[in-house]
Chain A
């Protein structure tokens, strides 16, 4: 193993990347774009659900009730409807996600001390959002009726009842329950997996396609020298991408980073070696740039998105699928990054993940070296 050869290969590879604006784009612009795109698109918080109201009661009470919805951060009242046709239209056209209907006898029933009813019609085509909106509505209504009860008691001069049980849930690690706080760290992990494999998937195939490999394998360069030399520039680019992602998480998404930055980058180093080597393995085996890039996309994108615990909790998956997730490297990177970001934990807690990532990287790097042959086939 000669350092001179490794640096010669690394320098040449750097020149290729910097001369070719497409590879630069792929290396820098695409990760930023994907992070912004997915960062916003995948944020699951449902805020300010647009509502229309059909106030058949038209009383002070009904207006107060509606104001409760409008005043909460969950809903915002966008308009009113006055008949069935308008109501249907509002929902069909997507102007509002739901219509709050306050019946004619709302105020009378309240005054009579009877249970008043109101109706919330929600567009269920996005069941996720619909469920969340319904839960919000329940909370708003509960708050409203509790208030009414207290008012009535006070009016009647009775002593205020003490609540028998006061449950105050406290959420750890993500107190505001903001989805971006766990989406963004997972997203960084998933994107790095895809980008890293994609970056190196082209490099060896390109040399076979262009015929430059035939010249290279007729020299005394050794396989590991070539592979290390080719890894170095993409490793630098990969680390730069991680840095960009961490900076964006901080300044664009305002995701608090609780753990150690040093630990985060150490893990990124281990992970990158594995993911970049995997790209090389693909490139070495397929010897065709288009095929290699497509294969790298499919092999990293789907498992990383679906099976890493990034989008769907692994604990809720069928058992067979859970077993498969153990061989998805992104799983360990996702867990580690989420742990570092949200819980601020370090190597002692994430020990298993770190070990798995090391094994993965060692295996990929070894396969790349073993599979690369200085022979024409």
Chain B
């Protein structure tokens, strides 16, 4: 049952194959109106492919999809009038000035003449480019370019925006500034569909989908994912020389994985209490000073790493059989 009244995006078993290669493998999810939906996954996971299908610029192989109430197969032009899309690669005209790019998209979106100036000023203000309006776009810094691209994509004030890795390759300050803009849009009721491979950005989203090798492996609010999706416990271990302790800890029977995290270790174990005791003994035996061993709420990264590894383990035997 597709609920398109309260959902901006509804996807059912959406699939994209490139020849024999499955880039997006029967994914299903919904994005509620007004939500910031994060699509998280490593490079090559299928984020861009999915977003392109939703924007009506790439024909799906199978499955269904409705965006802004329109079908992605038959009404892609209607979708295009109701969304803003910012592609992964910067795609404004580098030889045109900031203002010329805005004017061009203003024309393309048929902004009424009486609103043109106002919208242009709004975009210039938002992107912080008022002083640089006559600069060739090629000369702008990465952060400015991204904000201008966003501005050009929302000149027509669409109810949904699709942002494909909008902050990749820009400095942390600009990333923050860009997320402020995303919150700002969301505050106005705009649905934001954003892909990223930054974990910290994932935390900013209302809901997340984790995509890995074309498959949707997790879906939900960040808090819920952290609480529910991790079968194992995560311990934070702060001790002397964590880098050498890591290997020894991993050898312990109940421990699945140990990884450096901040100035300590994150240890994934089936039974947290038991493992904590064993780790304490092990560290005491080797004479390392222990600051803290504590069960913690896993970070998103912990959750995703464990999900992805579980999937890899499950898939490996299959892959070998196939060969």
CA distance A312 to B49 in the complex (A): 54
List the one stretch of A11-19, A65-73, A93-101, A165-173 in contact with chain B. A11-19
Q: Give chain A interface residues in 299-353, CB to chain B under 8 Å.
A: none
**Is A218 part of the binding interface, using a Cβ–Cβ cutoff of 8 Å?**
yes
**Is B121 part of the binding interface, using a Cβ–Cβ cutoff of 8 Å?**
no
**Is A287 part of the binding interface, using a Cβ–Cβ cutoff of 8 Å?**
no
CA distance A220 to B84 in the complex (A): 10
Does B110 contact A2, Cβ atoms closer than 8 Å? yes
CA distance A212 to B91 in the complex (A): 4
| B92-120 to A contact mask, C-beta < 8 Å, 1/0 | 11111000100111111110000000000
Does A214 contact B96, Cβ atoms closer than 8 Å? no
Does B100 contact A8, Cβ atoms closer than 8 Å? no
**Is A215 part of the binding interface, using a Cβ–Cβ cutoff of 8 Å?**
yes
* Partner of A219 from B90, B92, B108 at Cβ < 8 Å: B108
Does B93 contact A212, Cβ atoms closer than 8 Å? yes
What does DSSP make chain A's interface, helix, strand, loop or mixed? helix
In the assembled complex, the CB of A157 is this many whole angstroms from the nearest CB of chain B, namely 89
Does B108 contact A375, Cβ atoms closer than 8 Å? no
Chain B residues within an 8 Å CB radius of A220: 77, 80-81, 108-110
In the assembled complex, the CB of B69 is this many whole angstroms from the nearest CB of chain A, namely 16
**Is B239 part of the binding interface, using a Cβ–Cβ cutoff of 8 Å?**
no
Residue of B nearest to A18 (CB): B95
Does A219 contact B91, Cβ atoms closer than 8 Å? no
* Partner of A16 from B52, B76, B91, B95 at Cβ < 8 Å: B95
Does A211 contact B57, Cβ atoms closer than 8 Å? no
Chain B residues within an 8 Å CB radius of A137: none
Residue of B nearest to A2 (CB): B110
Please report the total number of A residues contacting B with Cβ < 8 Å: 28
**Is A20 part of the binding interface, using a Cβ–Cβ cutoff of 8 Å?**
yes
Does B93 contact A375, Cβ atoms closer than 8 Å? no
Residue of A nearest to B51 (CB): A218
Q: Give chain B interface residues in 53-105, CB to chain A under 8 Å.
A: 55-59, 76-77, 80-81, 83, 85-87, 89-96, 100, 103-105
Does A12 contact B83, Cβ atoms closer than 8 Å? no
CA distance A165 to B251 in the complex (A): 120
CA distance A16 to B104 in the complex (A): 12
Please report the total number of B residues contacting A with Cβ < 8 Å: 33
**Is A269 part of the binding interface, using a Cβ–Cβ cutoff of 8 Å?**
no
CA distance A219 to B78 in the complex (A): 10
Among A5, A9, A215, A221: residue with most chain B CB under 10 A:
A215
Does B109 contact A375, Cβ atoms closer than 8 Å? no
Residue of A nearest to B164 (CB): A214
Report if A5-B91 is in contact (Cβ < 8 Å); known contacts: A12-B96, A15-B100.
Answer: no
* Partner of B95 from A9, A19, A213, A376 at Cβ < 8 Å: A19
Does B57 contact A4, Cβ atoms closer than 8 Å? no
Chain B residues within an 8 Å CB radius of A129: none
Does A12 contact B100, Cβ atoms closer than 8 Å? yes
| A1-33 to B contact mask, C-beta < 8 Å, 1/0 | 010110111011001100110000000000000
**Is A236 part of the binding interface, using a Cβ–Cβ cutoff of 8 Å?**
no
Does B103 contact A8, Cβ atoms closer than 8 Å? yes
Among B80, B86, B106: residue with most chain A CB under 10 A:
B80
Does B110 contact A214, Cβ atoms closer than 8 Å? no
In the assembled complex, the CB of A217 is this many whole angstroms from the nearest CB of chain B, namely 5
Does B52 contact A376, Cβ atoms closer than 8 Å? yes
Chain B residues within an 8 Å CB radius of A214: 57, 87, 89, 91
In the assembled complex, the CB of A214 is this many whole angstroms from the nearest CB of chain B, namely 5
Does A8 contact B80, Cβ atoms closer than 8 Å? no
Does B57 contact A375, Cβ atoms closer than 8 Å? yes
**Is A216 part of the binding interface, using a Cβ–Cβ cutoff of 8 Å?**
yes
* Partner of B105 from A20, A211, A219 at Cβ < 8 Å: A219
**Is A210 part of the binding interface, using a Cβ–Cβ cutoff of 8 Å?**
yes
Q: Give chain A interface residues in 198-218, CB to chain B under 8 Å.
A: 210-218
Chain A residues within an 8 Å CB radius of B59: 375
Chain B residues within an 8 Å CB radius of A212: 91-93
Chain B residues within an 8 Å CB radius of A4: 107, 110
In the assembled complex, the CB of A77 is this many whole angstroms from the nearest CB of chain B, namely 60
Report if A15-B89 is in contact (Cβ < 8 Å); known contacts: A8-B104, A219-B105.
Answer: no
CA distance A209 to B170 in the complex (A): 23
CA distance A211 to B57 in the complex (A): 13
Chain B residues within an 8 Å CB radius of A218: 55-57, 80, 83, 85, 87
* Partner of A12 from B58, B93, B149 at Cβ < 8 Å: B93
CA distance A16 to B110 in the complex (A): 21
Chain A residues within an 8 Å CB radius of B80: 218-220, 374
Report if A221-B100 is in contact (Cβ < 8 Å); known contacts: A212-B91, A214-B57.
Answer: no
Chain B residues within an 8 Å CB radius of A215: 85-87, 91-92, 149, 153
Chain B residues within an 8 Å CB radius of A2: 110
Q: List 12 A-B contacts (CB under 8 A).
A: A2-B110, A4-B110, A8-B108, A9-B104, A211-B90, A214-B87, A214-B89, A219-B108, A220-B77, A374-B57, A375-B57, A376-B52
In addition to A7-B107, A16-B95, 8 A-B residue pairs with Cβ atoms within 8 Å of each other are A5-B108, A9-B104, A11-B103, A19-B96, A214-B57, A214-B87, A215-B153, A220-B108
Chain A to chain B: the 4 pairs with minimum beta-carbon distance, closest first? A8-B107, A218-B85, A215-B91, A220-B81
Residue ranges of B at the interface with A (Cβ–Cβ < 8 Å) = 52, 55-59, 76-77, 80-81, 83, 85-87, 89-96, 100, 103-110, 149, 153
Residue ranges of A at the interface with B (Cβ–Cβ < 8 Å) = 2, 4-5, 7-9, 11-12, 15-16, 19-20, 210-222, 374-376
